[in-house]
Each structure stands twice: as structure tokens, then as C-alpha cells.
Structure 1
């Protein structure tokens, strides 16, 4: 495994089968980790997709049983930690944070090539973030635990979804995990702070050096291509001022993630061949230090959040709400409603 740097992410969403005949379909996203300010370790991400991913905001108590694949040699586990997640079409965990302040963010990576089959039990890439949130408290723990499973690309809605994963914890440690030419590539460290989509992170970092603020001469690009979004996210993150409190830290980072969001109707004028230029559906901010998870839907001017301190990690009910509900604003911890009992839950996220 190779260790290196950088991180900005966005998670997976699913596709409706009626859209699949048209060729390449992707979710594009951006994620930014701000772990150098004195107020809080915070990460922000966008979810960009060509269709509505029908997100559901879900609180998952401890003790939920899961299986990594529907059949075959599959990893099985029961969740040690409670988590708050955003799901995509009720079959994938695209984003979330657990009660220990560990976050996981699933993004599209067009050229991902998984490892060949071996003796390790399999884990669906659609459950990859949930496995991390259920079982680990830190990035270091997650990286060690993930060595024991093999990530498998599982078809959904008629196609497979090539993906990569970013994780971060309350200490500010971070990692990006990718599959490049059949090998696992890990970029690990507190300098792993930005991730978008293809190309793989090593190529993104090499490209970044061509731009001002990173040793190059090029001006900051303004288009929606994933490489351009990576440069903008990295540039604005580097120039953020020191916040006076946690609210300002979250506000500053939210401003950066909005700058790399893709407006509806936007056209990629970069001249690149990336398919990952779909409109932003929602954004999230994870406050790892204070265990608060924020949601920013694009169909509303409001921001709302869940506070782990107001939720029962040993509860007997899975709780949820739909982020598109009208009027959601502020702390919505009390607005969650039962989705089902904690018990044998498989598949996928719930």
C-alpha cells in the first residue's frame, strides 16, 4: 500500500434503470477537510448527480447486524458505533459520520479497478462507508480493519459503480482509498484534504502544482471539470482565515464547498472528456470535534443538522427524515421519526 496526501469528496448515488442505456453515467462530487483551524475539525462535501438520489437522513443506533454481500464469501458484522448517514435510493450509504467523529464519504472514480478475488470476505462498495462508520473510531483503525476485507464492485440498477472513499476523524487525520490498476492505493495523513473525481488523486496532486499558490503559474480555473474543482477547492482552503468560533469555521468552509458546487444547467467548458459534471443535489458538513452533522439541500435556503448529544446511540429504533421536507431548519434531532426496529438489517444501509 502506498501512502501520500490530499482530500475533497462526494458520495455515490444510484441511477434509475431507464437512464442506463444512454452510456456512461456518473456522480460527481467534491469534499474538503479543514483540519488546521483551532475551532473544529470540519469536512464539507457536495453530492452531484444527474438524477435525484432521493436522499434520506438516517440515524442508526448501535447493534445493527449486516452482511457485506447478498451471497458468497461475505463479511458479517454488528455495528459497534451509532452513525448519522445520508443514503442514496435506500441502497447505498453515500455520506455520514459516527458518534466518535469519524466520517466517510463515497465518490465516483471512473477508472477504478478493484483487486482480484482472494480469500478475504467480500464487502460491497455500496456498503463501504457504512462498514467504516459501524466499526471504527479513527482513520488508523479503519485502515487496519479494511485490510481484512476485499471491496467488491456490486451492480445496482443494471450497472456497476466505480468508486473511491475518503475518511477523516476527530483528530484531523484523513485518508483516501482508491483502486488503481487492480491495486489498493492509500493516501494517508493530515495533508489529505481535498478530493473530487477522476483522475486518481496522485494525478490530481501533480496537476495542482501547475497553478498559482502551489508553485505553478496558471490562474485558478472556473469550470466544473473535476480537476478544476480540485484546484479551486485546494486554493480556497489554503487561504481561509482563522475563524473566531465554530459557527464561523462551518460558515467559512460552507462558502468554499458552495464554490465548487455545480449549478443546475451548468455546461462543462473545460474541453475535457469527464462525464462527472452533474448538478449538485445537496451538500453536507461534518463537525468532527462537536459531533454535529449538517445538511444543505439545494432546493431550500435553509441549513439543518443533527446533534449526536441529543440522540440515543443505544436506541431500539432506526430514525429518519427526508431532507427535502419543507421548512426544515436548525436542529432537527427531535423531528426524526421511526423507520424500523434495530435488529437484523440487511441489505443495504438500513
Structure 2
């Protein structure tokens, strides 16, 4: 990915955000840890179609951080991964062959660190960086200490994002940038992530509701804080699953309670306005079995990729399949087709 391509992404987002101002913003992520395995569910909610592609990247790809100041981190992918590519530019979600899962969500209140001398990685590229070089949450956090996440400005605005990560042991973390500083939440407090305000506020707000020490009933609107409360409450109260299939079903059912219907209207906080951030797609990641599930909101079918059926060896082609192909159902690793390596240097 080039700096020019990243700028196009940010410019498009910035112009639209400038028009939408504080319209409802969305995306939700949930982690369920069980005796049978660890499952991550995520929704992608966006105001424009992102034309998702599921891409399988092999090991040995040389990449750079796609920053504009010439001081970008350079690396070679250590692990193969299956990711969702959004808008032809950003890695927005994915899992690598070690069961390390990463999710990129919107956080309006993000304020990135002041640029310093550390090698930079663009915020739209950081998930791919972590998936390429990390097998565990501990390794990913160590890598983030070596680099600086950089947001490319366009039209006077930044593209604000936060990150959630988890691994095959059930370890989890949320990484945010608040008031110009990196804030890391690790462990049980990082099982749910939605959007603004930042996670510290969300966790404190949770105390007002039933199941968390308060008396207020669960809210039903699509506001990020309300979705956070609902996801947290259901995650806390669902029965222990009997197997990994049941764990996947439970996470999927919770995800559906925080999804935003196509064409929905936002009635949060008494404000009646058209919601422009519907759920476009949903993913489930089974870190133990290395199964990565995908369902587009416009399709009745869910399909998945078994990472164990992908040859991630160095030199193998990059392959992809469109997330908008509504005929896909079941395990689709054989449907992945080689593509030209347009945005990344050749394997080394």
C-alpha cells in the first residue's frame, strides 16, 4: 500500500465524516473465552460500502509502514494470515496461522501520539503489521512499543481508530490513543469493544446497569455505549458452552444483538436521525481450530476459511475471494484465487 493510496482512503473518510459530524458511529467486537476454545466476533459498520475482500497472505512478504515522512517501519511477514481488506487499502480484521486475531474499529475520540523518531506504521496498515509478526498478544504489544502508529491527515482531519487483539490462549488487549498517549487494557476488561467514548469511560458507565452493580435496565438503541452494555451483559450471562460449536453460536447470537440493521434510524439519546453506519459484515474467529467465518449483511449465507487448508509457504501467491459473492457458503479455501501483488513488494 502506498502513501498516496492511504491518503485517498483517509480523504474519502474525512470528507464524509465532516458531513456526518457526530452521526451514529459503529462496529462492535466480542471475545468469549471457554474451556473449549476462544472465539472473537466482530461487526463492520460503515457509512459507505467497503467492498470487502478476504485475502490469504503467505509468509515472506516484504512490506513497509506506508507513512509519508520517509521513516516507516519495514518488515517481512513471519506468519501467514487471512484478513478482510476494506476499500482495497486497509486490513480491517483478520487472523494468522498461529490463532492471533486483530480487529480495527472506529474511535472518534482517538488522539495519536505526537510524531517522534520511532519508525512509523500507518493506522490502516497496523493490523497487517501485527498479524505478520505476532503469534501472541504479548508479542504484539512488544512490537507496538517499537513503532509509532501514524494517522495521515487529509482535509484537516485524522482517521481515528482503536485496536483489539487476542490469541489462541485467550489473552486479549485493547489499544487506544487518548489525549495523545497510548492506553492499553489487557485481560478481562478487554473482552468487549465498541466505539466512543474510550474504554475507560465504557467500563465505568457499565456500573450503572443490572449485572454490573447498578439498577438500570439494558438499553436497546444503537449508540456505541448501549451496544457495549448489551454485549457485556449477554457475554456475562450466557451459559457455559458445551463445545466450540456452541461457543461460536453464542458469540454469533450476541453479535446480532449489537448489529445495526440496513436502513435503521438512530434514536439514541432522544435524537431521531437517519443512521448512516449500518452493519456491512460480520466475522467470527475460532482461534483454536483456525477457522475464520464471514457473513455479508446482504447475504443469507455464512462461509469460512480453514487456515489449515491454506499453503502459507514463502513464495506462494496471494489469494482472495470477494466478500460480496452471495453464492459462497461453507468452507471456501478452494475458492481463493491468486491476485497480482499490487500493494506489496514481492516475497523475499
**Counterpart Cα distance in 1 of 2:189 and 2:26:** 22
Q: CA deviation at 1:190?
A: 3.9
Correspondence for 1:42: 39
Q: Do 1:27 and 1:107's aligned partners in 2 also have CA atoms closer than 8 Å?
A: no
**Are 1:87 and 1:93, in contact at CA under 8 Å, matched by a contact in 2?**
yes
Map of 1:79 onto structure 2: 77
Q: Distance in 1 between matches of 2:13 and 2:107?
A: 19
Structure 2: how far apart are the matches of 1:272 and 1:134?
A: 44
2:259 equivalent among 245, 249, 261:
261
Q: Which residue of 1 aligns with 2:336?
A: 336
Name the residue aligned to 1:152: 150
- In the TM superposition, 1:233-244 aligns within 5 A as 233-244=231-242
2: CA distance, partners of 1:335 / 1:272: 46
**Which residue does 1:202 correspond to in 2?**
200
Once the two structures are superposed, residues 284-339 of structure 1 have per-residue CA deviations (whole angstroms, 9 ceiling, x without a partner) of 00101111100011111111000111000105200001011131000000000001
Matching residue of 2:322: 322
In the alignment of these two chains, the number of paired residues is 333
What's the CA shift for 1:26?
7.7
Q: Secondary structure at the match of 1:45?
A: strand
Are 1:44 and 1:254, in contact at CA under 8 Å, matched by a contact in 2? yes
- The aligned residue for residue 192 of structure 1 is 190
SS in 1 for 2:325: coil
Alpha carbons 1:64, 1:344 under 8 Å: kept: no
CA distance in 2, matches of 1:97, 1:301: 23
TM-score when scaled to structure 2? 0.90
| Distance in structure 2 (CA, Å) of the matches to 1:244 and 1:156 | 49
* 2:280 matched residue in structure 1: 281
Residue of structure 2 equivalent to 1:231: 229
Deviation at 1:117, TM superposition (A): 1.6
TM (norm. structure 1) is 0.89
Q: Which residue of 2 aligns with 1:6?
A: none
Q: What SS does the aligned partner of 2:208 have?
A: coil
1:119-138 correspondence to structure 2 within 5 Å: 119-138=117-136
Counterpart of 2:300 in structure 1 is 301
SS across alignment from 1:238: helix
1:89-168 paired onto structure 2 within 5 Å = 89-155=87-153, 160-168=158-166
How far residue 40 of structure 1 moved from its aligned partner, in angstroms, is: 1.5
Q: Aligned partners of 1:65 and 1:84: how far apart in 2?
A: 17
What is the rounded CA distance, in whole Å, between the counterparts of 1:282 and 1:193 in structure 2? 20
For residues 162 and 344 of structure 1, the distance between their equivalents in structure 2, rounded to whole angstroms, comes to 23
Partner of 2:242, secondary structure, is coil
Secondary structure of the structure 2 residue equivalent to 1:248: helix
Q: Which residue of the partner structure matches residue 246 of structure 2?
A: 248
Q: Report the alpha carbon displacement of residue 239 of structure 1 after superposing the two structures with TM.
A: 1.1
Please report the RMSD computed on the Cα atoms of aligned residues, expressed in angstroms.
Answer: 2.4
What residue number does 1:220 align with?
Answer: 218
Q: Which runs of 5+ in 1 are unaligned?
A: 1-12
Task: Report Cα offsets for 1:204-256 as digits up to 9, x if no partner.
Answer: 00000000000000000000000000000000101111222221111111000
More deviation in 310-319 or 132-141?
Answer: 310-319
Shift of 1:105: 0.3
List runs of 5+ in structure 2 lacking aligned partners: 1-8
- Compared CA separation, residues 21 and 256, structure 1 to 2 (3 A): closer
